[in-house]
Structure 1
Amino acid sequence: MTSPTVLKRLGSALSIGLLTASAAMNAAAEEKDSFSIAWTIYAGWVPWQYAEDYGIVKKWADKYDIEIDIVQVNDYIESINQYTAGQFDGVTATSMDGLSIPSASGIDTTALIVGDYSNGNDGLVSKDGKSIEDLEGETVHLVELSVSHYLLARALTSVGLEERDLSVVNISDADLVSAFQTDDVRHVGTWNPLLTEVEGFPGATKLFDSSQIPGHIKDLTLVNTETLADNPKLGKALVGAWFETMNIVKADTEAGAEARAYLGKLSGTDQAGYEAQLAGMKMFWEPQMSVDFINSKEASEAMDSVRQFSFDKGLLGQGAMSPDFVGIQFPDGTIMGDEGNVKLRFNDEYMKMGAAETL
């Protein structure tokens, strides 16, 4: 559910900050009344399109006398690149990519909405192995430097192995399912809906999935910190629209079923397919659920693990001498990393307003 190809992933992480950070930072800080948010297809983000199509975003934007344009971008990494370049005021992204692309590029970014975390939607599947230990000396195909790569690293650590104990081969997500049907590809890491397809291969075994590392693969709606500070109405409108949508999507009603069917169609599947993807996620249906999670020890420990992986793989940039290069601020004000370079912030202020219905 992250990078479509390793080339795009490397290009975005290592070069875009040098080209665009200064321009984006200068353009962000101003009071304005029109905003744009980029999103890409994934079960945890597609509700933004429902909220747009059914007038929920407009309703909340009108409440604050602003305009919000919800824009689908077909390429996930490109959407984050464009946000980093200042072309969007916000973007949907995982916590790892939010850290390694805009934040590492110097763009002060706020996680306004913590929507969910992967709770089984990402996994490792083998034709031959029955446990992670069976991967020792083997070759695993996955989208390199994606959350699948991170998942593999965590899985190996859980059994005392390291990445050097096996080989990792990069493969495009578009090619992964067909490759797994060949004799040469025996072990893969991927995400839904691809995970369901490879897991259904005769004799295949799911060795490890994201439910075993709860909270590590967080799905966020990010906004530029300076833009949010100058335009608090944007934060209120987005949070209000998101959780009103969540209230519809979760409902065991005809309206809820219709919403999930609509989201399934947008996702290239149907209602049952979309509901299956929801089952592999820990959804924060209510704002207080998001607030409780992001203030938990579990959430901070997960981010520490993510930043360590990002540093080890060079995703924080050439100037990063340690995982502390980018400061990460949590809602209670504590900072993980460089206090002088805080570029990723988890702000629960607006979600708290939503929980108290004071938006």
Structure 2
Amino acid sequence: MRLSRFLVIAFVMLLGSSTSALARDQFRVCWSNDAGALPWGYAAQQKIVAKWARKYRISIDLVRVDDATDAVKQYTAGQFDGCTMNNLQALSLPAAAGIDTTALLINNFSAGNDGILLRGKNLRAQDLKGKEVHLAKNSVAHYLLVRALESVQLSEDDVSVTPTAEADLLAAYGAGDIAAVAAWNPTLAQLKAAGDSTLVFSSHRIPGEIVQLLAVNTDTLRANPALGRALTGAWFETMQRMRATDDKGAATLSAIAKGAGIELEDYEAQRRKNRSFYSARSAVTFAESPGLPAAMERMSAFAFSHGMLGKATSAQSIGISFANGVVIGSPANIKLRFDSAFMQVAADGRL
């Protein structure tokens, strides 16, 4: 009995020392040039992040990484404590690599920012059959193509997918060398302007499936809830500034566009194609909706079928948890968590 009690005490002490080892006051978070992530640049430049970090007696170094996928890979490699990413990236990069990751903030979902173009007029998704579709392989554009094909009872076997770097799409499409592309804004808008084409499918048709997040290492977040509180507070203060209808709101949007090196008109066009959560309460409502687990179940199936889940033996190998105890995939191997707790604290005014 004494030995058993000793082992329990030793385990608790070990657990406590492990948690303490993770506890710290300096953090690094990266953001990329996706339209939904651009407000982070403004929040850093205007010292909003620094203000909230000071409140919780920590420091947060917010770093811009231009390539979104590279940013997530650096987070996965442990170079950052958190990073902006979409839900497919969160699943297929850190979660698939065994890095337990929490979606701290749900920023928005794509409602037209991703689309598929076919060269020609008055075309439909059915006209994709037999076409060679150029896209960034294993990206949300690839996922969108699969969803477009499913919507008209087609599959990837009915098209030819040609992996093409986003930077190469404009030149190839503008020269008339390719007939079909799947892309996201601002590239999508530029492609549409460059040639005679029809938007045959967009993320407007699958609302709530392509989601922009700020994700944080789960162990780091558990050991340092101040990081979650500071980032949540900074984000929703920025959202409050953006949604203002006066001159201050306009100035905020102009500053975000300028900081990202794009024209305000282009930024506004992208913003209109996203459904942003400007209030914490609306973000919580989305996070706790049954549509999110359903979307992630579809995304898991896509990721597994395209070899994006590492050593997973099925689409259910990686567990994903949601609000109210909902889990899809393996409950014993949860590596991606959609946790509304910090957003709920913000909604309740308790930050």
Q: TM-score higher than 0.5 here? A: yes
Local SS of the residue matching 1:36: strand
Q: How many residues align?
A: 333
Query: TM-score when scaled to structure 1?
Result: 0.90
Return the match for 2:136 from 143, 156, 176: 143
Are 1:264 and 1:270, in contact at CA under 8 Å, matched by a contact in 2?
Answer: yes
Q: Within 2, Cα distance between the matches of 1:335 and 1:183?
A: 46
**1:98-132: CA deviation from partner (whole Å, max 9, x where unpaired):** 01110111111000000000110000011136001
Is the deviation greater in 79-88 or in 49-58? 79-88
Q: TM-score, normalised by structure 2?
A: 0.92
SS of the equivalent of 2:323 reads coil
Q: Aligned-pair distance for 1:249?
A: 1.1
Which residue is 1:48 aligned to?
40
Distance 1:139 1:29, change over 3 A: farther
Bigger radius of gyration, 1 or 2? 2
Identify the match of residue 234 of structure 2 among 241, 247, 262: 241
Does structure 1 retain, via aligned residues, the 8 Å contact 2:82–2:214? Answer: yes
- Cα RMSD (Å) of the superposition? 1.4
Which residue in the other structure is 1:265 paired with?
258
Question: Could you tell me which of 300, 315, 323 is aligned with 1:323?
Answer: 315
**Deviation of residue 28 (structure 1)?**
10
Once the two structures are superposed, what CA deviation does each residue of 1:225-244 show, in whole Å capped at 9, x if it has no partner?
01111111111110000000
Matched, 1:280 2:279: no
Equivalents in 1 of 2:237, 2:176: separation in Å?
Answer: 48
Matches of 1:297 and 1:60, distance apart in 2: 32
- Is 1:70 paired with 2:62? yes
Alpha-carbon separation, structure 1, partners of 2:156 and 2:318: 25
Gap change, CA 1:214 and 1:28, over 3 Å in 2: farther
CA contact (8 A) 1:153 1:163 kept: yes
Q: Percent identity?
A: 43
Deviations 1:78-104 (A, max 9, x none): 211221121111011000010111011
* Aligned equivalent of 1:91: 83
Query: Contact (CA 8 Å) 1:29, 1:226: kept in 2 or not?
Result: no
Could you tell me which of 270, 282, 286 is aligned with 1:289?
Answer: 282
Contact 2:141 2:184 in 1 (8 A): yes
Q: Distance in 2 between matches of 1:231 and 1:213?
A: 35
CA contact (8 A) 1:113 1:220 kept: yes
**Equivalent of residue 165 in structure 1, options 150, 154, 158:** 158
Matches within 5 A, 1:211-226: 211-226=204-219
Partner residue in 1 for 2:112: 120
Distance between the aligned counterparts of 2:319 and 2:93, measured in 1? 14
Q: Residues of 2 paired with 1:29 and 1:349: CA distance?
A: 24
- Cα 1:27–1:308 shift into 2, 3 Å: farther
Alignment of 1:193 with 2:219, yes or no, is no
1:150-200 per-residue CA deviation (whole Å, 9 max, x = no partner) reads 000000000000001010111111111111012320111101011111122
Matches of 2:20 and 2:106, distance apart in 1: 22
